[in-house]
């Protein structure tokens, strides 16, 4: 890259495919340092700094917290299942209901 652009913010901007790669790797719980290494291995002219990786990760996690879609879907499924299981009470249905409770408790412990 031209020496005059290296210190400019534009030079460190992530392209759309790199942005998607950071989000995918964040979903897979890859550390930011390893994400940065992967970006630099894929593009030797990449001058992205670790701060840009952290910013993309933060924006992705914030969008999850704001939407809360997964938590709402789980709670709706739990409600639907509890309504269905009130009619029948076999041991396997009770086990499944307990598993839903465990999963729901894990969601409550996560800092959204």
Per-residue confidence at 38, pLDDT binned at 50, 70, 90? very high
Supply the mean pLDDT for the chain.
76
By C-alpha distance, which of 1, 45, 8, 42 is closest to 25?
42
Query: pLDDT per residue over 96-105, tens digit each?
Result: 777 777 777 7
31 pLDDT above the threshold of 90: yes
Q: How many CB atoms lie within 10 A of CB 32?
A: 17
Percentage of residues in the chain having pLDDT higher than 90: 25
Q: Residues 71, 112: contact at Cβ < 8 Å?
A: yes
87 pLDDT above the threshold of 70: no
């Amino acid at each position: 890259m031209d020496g005059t652009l290296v210190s400019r913010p534009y030079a460190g901007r992530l392209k759309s495919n790199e942005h998607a790669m950071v989000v995918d790797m964040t979903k897979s719980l890859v550390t930011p340092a390893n994400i940065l290494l992967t970006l630099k291995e894929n593009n030797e002219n990449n001058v992205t700094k670790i701060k840009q990786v952290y910013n993309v990760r933060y924006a992705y996690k914030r969008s999850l917290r704001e939407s809360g879609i997964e938590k709402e879907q789980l709670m709706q499924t739990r409600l639907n299942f509890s309504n269905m299981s009130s009619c029948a009470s076999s041991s396997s249905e009770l086990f499944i209901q307990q598993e839903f409770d465990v999963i729901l408790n894990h969601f409550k412990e996560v800092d959204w």
